[in-house]
Structure 1
């Protein structure tokens, strides 16, 4: 077994694990969306039919949107479904393939850097919110802890960085092959 085969095998395992975690996060977010839909309908029915809305639905929806986005963003990027304008990149790849691949590699590495910077910036806030027991909502009416949503931002950002790095490796391999 050569060093290249070992590296490819380890990378393949890393990709399968990372893709599995991203896929699981995507499924959790999708189920979360379905749960929110049920909650919102129940809140409307409670409000209109019985005169008693469900406490805290606006707060739950507000924070859920953030959690859902960060649970799904890495999977979206990894599947190549992230919105991006690549008109210049496509033109560059046709005209000067190496320059296009280099620009794509740079973009992927910048994306990984930005995602890791976000995770690094939010991590202390999540730990502080947990230590202080920070809550959102109206005391005595409805409150929910803030730290789980901050941790989802960190998790989603780390997964997004992994997706950017794996895509950068794919770009490097395409550059070597091409």
Structure 2
């Protein structure tokens, strides 16, 4: 049940990131095409930048869980067996520490913005905590994904964030096509 809820959370965050991407596209098209027609969206550039931050951070957990996040495995890929497992767990502990630190500070920053009624600078003044929620939510969901993966790998299972190595030449070509290389 928890597995289903966590997977749904990661997927929802990915879909929300995609929705922000579409919103960025629509706003940019309106801003660009609207100039010659005299159409203007007050603070349109600000809204686009807030959407971009939300999109980038909300997509992190889904990207991590799908094995699409850039991973430099120069050391871990040369290891095998118990040594590799220990390094995987150690890497996840370090990752949990860093992501947890950033998520905690993002939550504190957003809470202070709400508590002190900070407002955005620009044409439209809105409470600052509103645009900060995308950034903060994305980091919190990523922290949850890291802890989830740490528990999974520490219990002796294979990491879910790592795609299987290609076994044939066709699989190498297929992975290259899918990754856009």
TM-score (norm 2): 0.78
SS in 2 for 1:135: coil
Structure 1 position 154 matched with structure 2 position 136: yes
Identify, as 1 or 2, the structure richer in strand: 1
Choose which of 60, 66, 77 in structure 2 pairs with 1:73.
60
Residue 45 of structure 1, aligned match among 33, 53, 66: 33
Q: Give the Cα–Cα distance (whole angstroms) in 1 for the partners of residues 112 and 42 of structure 2.
A: 26
What is the CA deviation profile of residues 111-155 of structure 1, one whole-angstrom value per residue up to 9, with x for unaligned ones?
1121111121122221121123222232xx323332123233332
Normalising by structure 1, we get a TM-score of 0.80
Residues matched between the structures, number: 158
1:107 and 2:100 correspond: no
2:69 counterpart SS class: coil
Residues 25-174 of structure 1 correspond to what in structure 2 (within 5 A)? 25-50=13-38, 52-93=39-80, 97-138=81-122, 141-174=123-156
Structure number with greater Rg is 1
Task: Give the aligned partner of residue 168 of structure 2.
Answer: none
Higher helix share: 1
Structure 1 unaligned runs (5+)?
Answer: 1-12
Return structure 1 stretches of 4+ with deviation > 4 angstroms: none
Gaps of 5+ in 2: 159-181
